[in-house]
């Protein structure tokens, strides 16, 4: 890269470390972001419906008409609503792009946090607050992009569809993405969508290590283990015991290893990782790519918990309940097993595999609702990935970009079955400690937020035009 190009790249990525350094357009964005963060959207005490309504007000102020905006909520879930906003494109033959995100956040108790989780706090180069990273940063960026299009009186070639929903963070809540896919598929129909899940990784010093594009994720499925027994008086123990049966089953589940699998996304990812991982891990990855059954290579690569989970389906016990009295033999013992199934894995097939691993007819293994769609990885589409990489080179020069599969889950799993491949867009860089997402004192670097906003806005413009 020439000196001129390096200086240009430095100028492009020059972003503020504090709110007083913001550009005028960033100040407007911060106001939107602040309003979103300070609207409590937790399941217990908040309202996604309120957040969606506030975004609708902002969109209408920018020039969107009532017919461009759909506010929705399930009749039994009035506080778990969402919003769809449509910016029509100039080419009726060009298929739309879906900008997907979620408004709800993980629970946050004030007494546990250093700061009020629902007040945006600017401190030490970070914005603190629940949802600052997951997922109100991206929800604010998508909304801001549509507003800026409208205020600039610009019309993209492709139609842009914004869908911000509720229920992504809570298994048993009303899920807006699922509702849209089932009830309003034409409203969100698109050639592809951009979502959370991608991003960048910083080392402990704040140096960018790499960017990731999420292309696929696992299916989340819970299973119930249940051991039953006639029970009796605890003064007369018996060899058959529901707790013992369950305990043995838990050990077998937690130590069971599903076989190594690769798909196009993870094969690309591990091929790249083989060149950067230190010995002996790099060579072991190469061996495993050539032979997924190589147990010695598997053992070496699996020392890293993230790599281990990326290679296979995983299941782990998360909840246990047993017994009914201190002085009685247990009549019932149950456990919840949380599985993250490799794309394409049938949940029933995984249930049968767990039952074989337990190998005890006294322990029943059943699927626990909800039963989500089987995860399928979207194609490695160069028309999507090419612009992602090209735009990233402007904002993050020299930072490598990899295709990744999430070991977690997003709302993409509900959208893919209606024919919309979803890609987790990169752009926001996360600290090595995870920035408190789903935990205490969640935060996002101001530089990461503002730089990510510029990148994602540019990416949408590039893909749409």
pLDDT along the chain (465 residues), means of 10: 38 55 95 98 97 98 98 94 98 97 97 98 97 97 98 97 96 92 98 96 92 95 97 95 98 98 96 94 98 98 96 98 97 98 96 98 96 92 97 96 92 96 96 94 97 98 97
Q: Tell me, what's the pLDDT at 405? A: 95
Sign for the pseudo-dihedral over CA of 121, 127, 128, 134: positive
Continuous segment of H or E residues that includes residue 84:
strand 82-87
223 sits in the region (left: phi over 0; alpha: psi -120 to 50; else beta) called: beta
Alpha-carbon distances, residue 431 vs 121, 161, 317 (angstroms): 18, 30, 28
Q: Tell me, what's the pLDDT at 1? A: 39
Between strands 219-228 and 199-202, the pairing is: unpaired
Q: Tell me, what's the pLDDT at 16? A: 62
Phi first, then psi: what are they for 3, rounded to 5°?
Answer: -60, -40
Q: Is 332 helix (H, G, I), strand (E, B) or coil?
A: strand
Q: Please, where are the H alpha helices in 84-238?
A: 136-151, 176-183, 185-188
Alpha-carbon distances, residue 380 vs 161, 259, 263, 383, 421 (angstroms): 22, 24, 11, 9, 10
Instruction: Give the domains, in start order, of the chain with CATH numbers.
Output: 3-217+375-464 (3.40.630.10), 219-248+313-372 (3.30.70.360), 259-312 (no CATH)
- Return the closest-CA partner of residue 37 out of 109, 102, 117: 117
Whether the pTM exceeds 0.75: the reply is yes
* Contacts with 412 (C-beta within 8 Å, 6 or more apart), sequence order: 100, 193, 195, 197, 217, 422, 424
- Return the closest-CA partner of residue 208 out of 428, 4, 7: 428
Alpha-carbon distances, residue 304 vs 210, 254, 269, 281, 299 (angstroms): 18, 17, 15, 9, 10
- Kindly write down the DSSP assignment for every residue of 348-411, as one continuous string: HHHHHHHHHHH--TTEEEEEES--PPPP-PPP--HHHHHHHHHHHHHHSTT--EEEEEESS--T
Alpha-carbon distances, residue 360 vs 173, 180, 248, 318, 355 (angstroms): 34, 42, 9, 20, 8
* Contacts with 48 (C-beta within 8 Å, 6 or more apart), sequence order: 41, 79, 80, 81, 82, 103, 104, 165, 166, 167, 176
């Amino acid at each position: 890269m020439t000196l001129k190009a390096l200086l240009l790249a430095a100028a492009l990525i020059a972003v503020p470390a504090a709110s007083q350094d913001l550009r005028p357009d960033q100040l407007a964005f911060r106001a939107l972001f602040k309003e979103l963060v300070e609207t409590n959207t937790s399941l217990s005490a908040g309202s996604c419906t309120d957040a969606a309504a506030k975004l609708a007000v902002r969109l209408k102020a920018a020039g969107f008409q009532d017919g461009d905006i759909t506010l929705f909520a399930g009749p039994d879930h009035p506080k778990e609503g969402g919003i769809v906003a449509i910016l029509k494109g100039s080419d009726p033959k060009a298929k739309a792009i879906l900008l997907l995100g979620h408004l709800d956040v993980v629970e946050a108790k004030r007494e546990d946090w250093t700061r009020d989780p629902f007040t945006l706090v600017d401190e030490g180069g970070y914005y603190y607050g629940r949802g600052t990273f997951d997922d109100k940063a991206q929800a604010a960026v998508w909304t801001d992009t549509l507003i800026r299009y409208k205020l600039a009186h610009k019309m993209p070639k492709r139609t842009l569809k914004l869908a911000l929903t509720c229920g992504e963070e809570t298994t048993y809540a009303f899920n807006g993405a699922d509702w849209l896919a089932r009830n309003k598929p034409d409203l969100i129909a698109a050639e592809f969508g951009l979502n959370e899940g991608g991003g960048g990784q910083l080392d402990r010093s704040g140096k960018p290590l790499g960017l990731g594009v999420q292309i696929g994720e696992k299916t989340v499925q819970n299973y119930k283990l249940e051991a039953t027994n006639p029970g009796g008086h605890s003064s007369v123990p018996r060899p058959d015991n529901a707790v013992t049966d369950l305990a043995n089953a838990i050990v077998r589940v937690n130590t069971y290893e599903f076989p190594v699998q690769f798909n196009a996304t993870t094969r690309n990812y591990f091929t790249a990782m083989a060149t950067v991982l230190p010995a002996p891990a790099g060579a072991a990855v190469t061996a495993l790519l050539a032979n997924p059954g190589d147990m010695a290579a598997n053992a070496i690569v699996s020392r890293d918990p993230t790599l281990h989970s990326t290679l296979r389906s995983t299941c782990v016990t998360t909840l246990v309940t047993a017994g009914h009295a201190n002085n009685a033999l247990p009549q019932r013992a149950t456990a919840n097993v949380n599985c993250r199934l490799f794309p394409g894995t049938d949940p029933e097939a995984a249930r049968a595999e767990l039952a074989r691993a337990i190998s005890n007819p006294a322990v029943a293994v059943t699927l626990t609702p909800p039963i989500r769609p089987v995860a399928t990885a979207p194609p490695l589409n160069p028309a999507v990935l090419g612009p992602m990489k090209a735009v990233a080179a402007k904002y993050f020069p020299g930072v490598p970009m990899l295709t990744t599969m999430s070991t977690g889950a997003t709302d993409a799993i509900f959208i893919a079955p209606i024919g919309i491949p979803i890609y987790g867009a990169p752009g926001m860089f996360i600290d090595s400690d995870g920035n408190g997402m789903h935990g205490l004192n969640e935060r996002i670097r101001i530089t990461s937020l503002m730089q990510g906003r510029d990148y994602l806005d540019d990416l949408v413009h590039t893909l749409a035009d």
